[in-house]
Structure 1
Amino acid sequence: MAATSCGADTEAAAPAVDLAKLDVGGYATLPRDIGKPKNDVVPRLVEAQRLGNIMPLPVEIDPKFVYQGPATHTFLLPGESHLSPIHRWISEVNFANDAKGFISGFSATAQSSKSPALASTLSSNVLIFPDAKSATDAAANLSRAQFFRDEDFPVEPAKLDAYPAAHVRWQPGMQTLVSWIAKDEFVIVTIAYNAEAKMLGESDLPGLSTLSEKAIAATSTSLEKFEPTPPEKFMETSIDPDGMRSISLRRPEGDSFMNVPGTYDLHGSLNFPTDPVKRKQELTDAGVDRVAYDAGELYRAADAESAQQLKDKSAELTHFFRSTPSPKGLPQATCMEYKGPAEGAIRFYCHVAYDRYYAFMGSEQLLDAQQRISAQYAILANSKSK
């Protein structure tokens, strides 16, 4: 079977692709049926993703929070609370008992710079509960959490003037302010930290208090747009309401599940790039409305031309990237090797556009990255031929 990228300009420019000759390794090349939830874990994940679509980004709360670290864990799930960004500062060792009824949640975290020694950090977290009483009880219980290094740096009670109902604790020696407040069936957990003030031995309690109040206000407003799914209807949840997962390459076992597969709107997808401001402009320019995360990333743009432009923009070489060969039989794809200093960065990346879709894959092995992008291209082409 031969395929070309659709659209008048891209079709004329791109050579035909013989799908049968692509090297896809052991990856699937056909769209899949995601099916219905088989347990209540998956609906909890979908609920967290829905929450991520409406929560404000830290940079929207305060424009100085421009940097989102790579591989930030955004999901808050029962049994996995220890994985969340919250636990960089506090340890909720009794979470299961203190947060009875907890359904799922989402965490949005960013810094004011790439340098941890000088950066301020804002982590805005929302936990979903079945009802307002459960949320109110959990906010009080969770506020007893143990702080990082509290044996050396004591923790004391504090308050937020704008939110007298909030449970607030302040760790002067670490310049960390944490608040817990219930809003309807949600608990908003806000963590504000100033590394520079800590290093200088100064106190930024007024500034961190103001920042926390801004975060709570913005998050509370956003939550007014969110209607939780009743737990009794979880098994009716659509895992793939817009079909993006069905045409995305499935993540293989052994890959990182720091953030589980799922789909987001444009706003929700901005929780993941390290530079959300720049990425927002690129995605907006391309008319992106949905993004699927699985073995890689799949973006749905306004049209074929927009998808190609987004691919070209995303695949631009910088001084940290070196060009590597395109996959066998798929010269439309652009592959590169990362040579920069970022800790935990993936080594090889491949990009391709097909019709109104742009896909991006990463792997520690070049051949695997090439096979993944080839398989994703084949899935998109085969979905059009059905």
Structure 2
Amino acid sequence: MRTTTAGRILAAGLAAVLLIAGCSDESGANAGGPTFDLTQLDPGNYSTTPRDQEQARTEHTGAMLEAARLGTALPAAVDIDARLVHRSSIYVDRRITPILLPSDIALIERAEFAQLTPGLVAGWQSRGQRRQGIGLGTALEMVTLRFDSAAAAANAAGLMSARAQQKWPDDTPVTVPDFGEAQARWSTQHRRVDAQLVRDDMVLLVRAEDPVSEPSEPTASTTLVQRALRAILDGLSDYTPTPADQLDSLPIDTDSMLARTLPLENTAQFTGDTDPSMVLPRQAWLHSALRADLAKTAYADTGVDLVAISGAVLYRAADAPAAARLLAALADAESARYAPIDSPPNMAGVGCYDRKDPKSSADRYPPTCFLHVGRYVAVVEGANTQQVHQRTAAQYGLLAEA
């Protein structure tokens, strides 16, 4: 899923939580956020009726839900190396399934992914890097793939290994400490170590890049791969695979989070096969943060446990005061690029913003509103002021009626 502007602001906004965590300590009557008369709001044609997300279930939904379960168990790059805090990709969806293909990942190009992974059930992709720009510092990419059998995993690993040897014949074999069974190669040209490890029905792919250090040699990258493999396996120890014949029983909408979230207007913009809306525990969403270090601490500070991503992005914090702190941080984070605009009609106090510089990208910085209702914080965007106002009114209706 390509990130929406709301998703970018939301991830980036967490960077400010630590700086202003105490600036909005609401503990009185307004701790749950402002309340409004629903009859006086204008949601336009947007629905204010919670939807039954089960109606969006398809034959592919179970695999997507299982992919999210994997992401909940797996470490982000920042969990392995505190310096790897930046996200480079514009995509926030880390799930992998036979129809939800990843961007190009370590060892596999998107175009050949299906050919190299027969028997895939679900997977998860994650990346973190030391600098914001590509190729400016150490980077770590991790892909965890679950197959329908150990034999299928071994077969896919063999196919991927053969393809890698064909594509990069000059790579030099290296040994990963503690993981002698892993197939690993050092590329002098690309300054990276690629490793592949098979464990039962899982294939782990790890790539560590170090494009700037001199002299160029594999020791540091090999050590990073070692740490990543150990952390992934530790995380998988807390993952209980859902049997393949029970994937369709996995719930789509944890605690009715999606029912409380504005729906996508056009699901076909992401995939024609299923609604990509999802509910993620905070560890899974951490993989999509623009600044994972600050996001990780912010989630803990405000007690965020679930995030729903659909037509808006909805956070659930520990309680209403924590949600107020989170909202203040999100609204403050883009202050250098955003300027306040009017609140939606009859919704005084709701913070809405538009880009300060008219020459800035309207796609990256569209009108955006931040809404706080109880323990929930929503980030809503629109193509213009009227649309974002109507969508915010509809999102309030969904939260107020829940």
Q: TM-score, normalised by structure 2?
A: 0.83
Q: Measure, in 2, the Cα distance between the counterparts of 1:19 and 1:322.
A: 27
Name the aligned partner's letter for residue 75 of structure 1: R
Instruction: Go from structure 1 to structure 2 and tell me whether the alpha carbon gap of 1:161 and 1:279 turns closer, same or farther (over 3 Å shift).
Output: closer
Q: Measure, in 2, the Cα distance between the counterparts of 1:337 and 1:260.
A: 27
1:48 aligns to 2:67 (yes or no): yes
Q: CA deviation at 1:230?
A: 0.8
1:191 aligns with one of 193, 207, 222: 207
1:144 aligns to 2:157 (yes or no): no
2:323 aligns with one of 276, 292, 307: 307
Secondary structure at 1:23 match in 2: coil
Instruction: Go from structure 1 to structure 2 and tell me whether the alpha carbon gap of 1:256 and 1:364 turns closer, same or farther (over 3 Å shift).
Output: farther
Q: CA deviation at 1:253?
A: 0.5
* Mapped contact 1:249–1:295 kept (Cα < 8 A): yes
Q: CA deviation at 1:80?
A: 4.1
* Mapped contact 1:75–1:105 kept (Cα < 8 A): yes
Q: Measure, in 2, the Cα distance between the counterparts of 1:306 and 1:139.
A: 45
Q: Measure, in 2, the Cα distance between the counterparts of 1:339 and 1:223.
A: 45
Instruction: Go from structure 1 to structure 2 and tell me whether the alpha carbon gap of 1:159 and 1:336 turns closer, same or farther (over 3 Å shift).
Output: same
Q: Measure, in 2, the Cα distance between the counterparts of 1:238 and 1:114.
A: 36
Name the aligned partner's letter for residue 232 of structure 1: D
Name the structure 2 match of 1:278: 294
User: Which has the larger displacement, 219-228 or 23-32?
Assistant: 23-32
1:224 aligns to 2:242 (yes or no): no
* Mapped contact 1:10–1:304 kept (Cα < 8 A): no
1:118 aligns with one of 128, 136, 139: 136
Q: CA deviation at 1:135?
A: 1.4
1:250 aligns to 2:263 (yes or no): yes
Which residues of 2 match residues 1-386 of structure 1 at below 5 A? 8-10=28-30, 14=34, 16-35=35-54, 38-69=57-88, 71-72=90-91, 73-81=93-101, 83-86=102-105, 90-91=108-109, 93-146=111-164, 154-197=170-213, 202-253=215-266, 257=270, 260-316=276-332, 318-338=335-355, 345-383=364-402
* Mapped contact 2:32–2:373 kept (Cα < 8 A): no
- Name the structure, 1 or 2, with higher relative contact order (CA <8 Å, separation 6+): 2
* Mapped contact 1:74–1:84 kept (Cα < 8 A): no
Name the aligned partner's letter for residue 74 of structure 1: R
Q: Which runs of 5+ in 2 are unaligned?
A: 1-25
- Deviations for 1:46-82, whole angstroms, at most 9, x for unmatched residues? 111111111101011111101123523412121443x
Instruction: Go from structure 1 to structure 2 and tell me whether the alpha carbon gap of 1:94 and 1:306 turns closer, same or farther (over 3 Å shift).
Output: closer
Instruction: Go from structure 1 to structure 2 and tell me whether the alpha carbon gap of 1:34 and 1:187 turns closer, same or farther (over 3 Å shift).
Output: same
Name the structure 1 match of 2:4: none
* Mapped contact 1:332–1:352 kept (Cα < 8 A): no
Q: In the comparison of the two structures, how many residue pairs are matched?
A: 370
* Mapped contact 2:86–2:132 kept (Cα < 8 A): yes
Instruction: Go from structure 1 to structure 2 and tell me whether the alpha carbon gap of 1:332 and 1:50 turns closer, same or farther (over 3 Å shift).
Output: farther
Q: TM-score, normalised by structure 1?
A: 0.86
Q: Which runs of 5+ in 1 are unaligned?
A: 1-5
| Alignment root-mean-square deviation, CA | 2.9
Name the aligned partner's letter for residue 356 of structure 1: R
Share of identical aligned residues, percent?
A: 25
Name the structure 2 match of 1:3: none
Q: CA deviation at 1:42?
A: 0.7
